[in-house]
């Protein structure tokens, strides 16, 4: 087997593959072949320096992890299986599934999605007699998530909130919410990394086990890491120090959800002796597209100097069209797609990338009028559909009987005569006696004299217990089928309105297909295997909407600019290039340069999704938030070198040239000297993980 994994790479890519020892920052511009470099680097290390199970590669999406696994397997088919290639959350779940008992949870914990977490929080608010209008559950969950990303537990938040009435209530909600999660043996999405950090800091032996195991660590999309992810990486790299992070500060677009661009900008300060390699040769886009992207991003001050280039031809100019209205703008987009289809292009060659979801409506209407195939990303995900969530609730209740949210969801689905009054009655009993809700149901006759209702509950419990016993012996596919048939759920779905019932039944069939094709990955020979049911539930809990994007779907893609990151299309449309929309009104009026810079990075991402053509458009007037508005052209349009733009509108006045990038002051976090503080890092007051409280 060939062991030279640098063949066909350019000089900088080859340097990245061969630089294996110590910290490495790999600045990978858009379309520069970073996945190829990462996979070849991993194959090289596995072939010459380490055993595959001593390597960890972390990505941000399941789609990226799957692609990386497949590529490594093609390079080293006998070794790739044992490598840990996963998202941050999948990696942490894998650790927690084996170690979480050290911090008081059962290893059969479940993961709540936003909907389940909101239901749990509503129960907390009801118990606390807090008005949901004043404390909207989803807003509260978002606020709690931000605290968790910054490693702030309930007690710490309570201390920070002293003297602020609203924040004091928030702190109490946070504490009770975590208590309820713990009682249900459940984690929400933000807990996954936080609980792993808590585990590591409270049990250094467990940290040492994983930090010593992973001799080589690679992290993709490092510019998108938040505080918790940043600390996780530092801890895992604290023994060997062979950490390679890959990213592009010019594509850091998730500040609104906690990503900290300083993580990548300050890498050399955080990891002593770090090497830096830049991948600037682009293999995706034409020269004009790259020059346009370079021209825009040059106006940002907080960035590392770099410039994308290509050996490809300049290609077509970018197109700009100013329409009379948003409807005329949509006509223009659909007409260009129609012309492309007539010239032999496929539907999947086109993507419409917009700043906010509401912009898709008019474009969708025009696509429907022209009978064009399209798909909107960001709508109701497959795993969020009612019938799919009901089935998954059955599976989660089978896996973890103390998952109150799932038990309550299915106790009367399909209808079996156990209504809300009964649920409230037994829930109150459980709270008063500090007993698990499921245990109260198992002994319903002890607390209720309603014989008919008790019999129905007993039948429900018997059904779940039978499923639980069968789960140990049935293949996953057969278990799902048995749940759907014996519970009566499938027949109840089919009995619904003909069209709706048929669609929902088809979704259940698709879920069975998912289960049939699912195989839990072996961890390694020494650690055994996660049960197929547990691994399946983890997989569907962590899947992202954009993971469903497939190049085989011959549809026009409609998605937000945020969702488009990591994708590429021959032709890209960027509508509503207007001040107040892109950049947003909030960014324009905030007075914070950092907000405009993130919007500009989003523009850079949108332009660099295109291989051959970019169509930029705006409207003289459009309906927005119930009003007819007229916006000025986006400043980003004015920042594109005008010789690169073919305009079908009034001339655009270019802005002054960009100033050179400057270096900002370093952040509050102290550096770790890995030679002296391998197991006891000093993070400084703000980053002191030892203060994480048990939640």
Residues designated catalytic? 34-35, 220-221, 251, 609
Can you tell me the distance from the alpha carbon of 308 to that of 206, in angstroms, rounded to the nearest whole number? Answer: 43
Write out the two tokens for 443. Answer: 């002994």
As a whole number of angstroms, the distance between CA 548 and CA 92 comes to 22
Token readout for 569 is: 């299309």
Residue with the two structure tokens 């990505």:
59
Cα three-residue angle 228-529-225, rounded to 5 degrees: 15
Query: What's 206-236 look like in SS3?
Result: HHHHHHHHCCEEEECCHHHCCHHHHHHHHHH
Q: Which of 189, 177, 268, 190 is nearest to 222 (CA)?
A: 268
CB 548 within 8 A of CB 569: no
Q: Measure the CA–CA gap between 425 and 447, rounded to whole angstroms.
A: 9
The DSSP annotation for 32-70 comes to S-HHHHHHHHHHHHHHHTS-GGGEEEEESSHHHHHHHHH
Q: Nearest 5°: CA angle at 169, between 166 and 171?
A: 110
Residues 667 and 266 sit within 8 Å (Cβ to Cβ): yes
- What secondary structure letter does DSSP report for 261? T
Residue 284 has which token pair?
A: 């995706």
Parallel, antiparallel, or unpaired: how do β-strands 275-279 and 318-325 relate?
unpaired
What sign does the dihedral 582-584-589-590 (CA atoms) show? negative
Structure tokens that stand for 132 in this block: 């949901």
Cα separation, 390 vs 396, in Å, equals: 10
Element (H, E) at 84: strand 84-87
Element (H, E) at 629: strand 627-629
Residue 258 dihedral angles phi and psi, to the nearest 5°? 105, -10
Quickly count: other Cβ atoms within 10 Å of residue 247's Cβ: 23
355 upstream amide cis, omega within 30 of 0: no
Pairwise CA distance, residues 250 & 258, whole Å? 16
Alpha-carbon span 339 to 332, nearest angstrom: 11
User: What is the spatial distance between Cα 474 and Cα 555, in angstroms, rounded to a whole number?
Assistant: 38
- DSSP lists the bridge partners of residue 629 as 622
Scored b (16 or more CB within 10 A) or e, 562-589 reads bbbbbbbbebbbbbbbbbbbbbbeebee
Q: Which SS3 state, helix, strand or coil, does residue 121 take? A: helix
Partners of 610 in the beta sheet?
569
For residue 369, how many other CB atoms are within 10 A of its CB? 11
How far, in Å, are 93, 194, 229 from residue 191 at the CA level? 10, 5, 12
**Contacts (Cβ under 8 Å, ≥6 apart) of 359:** 575, 576, 581
Residues 274 and 23 sit within 8 Å (Cβ to Cβ): yes
């Amino acid at each position: 087997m060939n062991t030279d994994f640098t063949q066909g790479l350019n000089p900088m890519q080859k340097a990245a593959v061969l630089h294996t020892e110590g910290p490495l920052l790999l600045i990978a511009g858009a379309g520069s072949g970073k996945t190829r470099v990462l996979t070849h680097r991993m194959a090289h290390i596995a072939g010459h320096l380490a055993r595959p199970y001593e390597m960890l590669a972390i990505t941000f999406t399941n789609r990226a992890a799957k692609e990386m696994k497949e590529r490594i397997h093609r390079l080293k088919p006998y070794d790739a299986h044992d490598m840990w290639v996963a998202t941050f959350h999948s990696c942490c779940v894998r650790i927690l599934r084996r170690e979480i008992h050290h911090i008081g949870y059962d290893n059969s914990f479940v993961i709540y999605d936003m909907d389940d977490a909101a239901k749990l929080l509503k129960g907390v608010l009801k118990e606390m007699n807090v008005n949901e209008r004043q404390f909207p559950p989803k807003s509260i969950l978002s606020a709690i998530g931000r605290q968790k990303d910054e490693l702030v537990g309930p007690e710490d938040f309570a201390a920070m909130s002293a003297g602020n009435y609203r924040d004091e209530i928030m702190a109490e909600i946070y504490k009770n919410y975590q208590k309820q999660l713990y009682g249900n043996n459940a984690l929400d999405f933000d807990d996954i990394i936080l609980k792993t950090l808590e585990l590591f800091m409270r049990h250094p032996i467990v940290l040492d086990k994983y930090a010593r195991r992973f001799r080589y660590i690679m992290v993709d999309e490092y510019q998108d890491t938040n505080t918790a992810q940043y600390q996780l990486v530092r801890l895992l790299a604290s023994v060997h120090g062979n950490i390679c992070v890959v990213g592009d500060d010019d594509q850091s677009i998730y500040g609104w959800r906690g990503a900290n661009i300083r993580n990548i900008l300050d890498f050399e300060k955080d990891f002593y002796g770090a090497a830096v390699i830049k991948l600037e040769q682009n293999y995706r886009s034409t020269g004009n597209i790259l020059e346009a992207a370079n021209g825009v991003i040059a106006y940002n001050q907080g960035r590392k100097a770099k410039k994308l280039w290509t050996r490809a031809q300049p290609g077509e100019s970018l197109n700009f069209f100013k329409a009379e209205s948003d409807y005329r703008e949509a006509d223009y987009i659909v007409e260009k797609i129609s012309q492309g289809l007539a010239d032999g292009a496929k539907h999947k060659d086109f993507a419409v990338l917009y700043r906010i979801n509401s912009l898709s409506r008019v474009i969708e209407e025009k696509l429907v009028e022209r009978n064009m195939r399209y798909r909107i990303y960001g709508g109701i995900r497959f795993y969020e559909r009612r019938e799919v969530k009901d089935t998954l609730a059955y599976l989660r209740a089978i896996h973890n009987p103390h998952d109150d949210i799932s038990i309550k969801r299915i106790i009367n689905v399909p209808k079996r005569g156990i209504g809300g009054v009964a649920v409230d009655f037994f829930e109150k009993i459980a709270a008063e006696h500090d007993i698990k809700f499921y245990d109260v149901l198992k002994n319903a006759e002890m607390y209720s004299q309603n014989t008919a209702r008790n019999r129905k509950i007993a039948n429900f419990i018997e059904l779940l217990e039978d499923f639980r016993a069968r789960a140990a012996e049935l293949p996953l596919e057969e278990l799902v089928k048995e749940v759907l048939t014996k519970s009566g759920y499938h027949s109840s779905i089919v009995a619904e309105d003909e069209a709706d019932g048929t669609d929902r039944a088809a979704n259940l069939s698709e879920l069975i297909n998912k289960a049939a094709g699912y195989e839990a990955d072996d961890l390694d020979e020494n650690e055994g295997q996660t049960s197929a049911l547990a691994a399946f539930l983890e997989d569907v809990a962590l899947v992202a909407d954009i993971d469903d994007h497939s190049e085989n779907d011959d549809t026009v893609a409609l998605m937000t600019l945020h969702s488009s990151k990591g994708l590429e299309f021959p032709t890209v449309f960027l509508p509503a290039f207007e001040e107040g929309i892109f950049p947003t009104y909030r960014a324009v009026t905030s007075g914070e340069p950092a907000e405009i810079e993130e919007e500009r990075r989003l523009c850079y991402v949108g332009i660099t999704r295109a291989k051959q053509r970019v169509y930029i458009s705006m409207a003289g007037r459009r309906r927005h938030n119930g009003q007819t508005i007229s916006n000025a052209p986006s400043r980003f349009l004015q920042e594109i070198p005008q010789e690169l733009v073919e305009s079908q509108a009034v001339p655009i006045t270019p802005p002054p040239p960009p100033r050179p990038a400057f270096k900002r002051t370093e952040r509050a976090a102290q550096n770790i000297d890995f030679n002296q503080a391998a197991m006891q890092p000093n993070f400084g007051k703000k980053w002191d993980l030892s203060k994480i409280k048990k939640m």
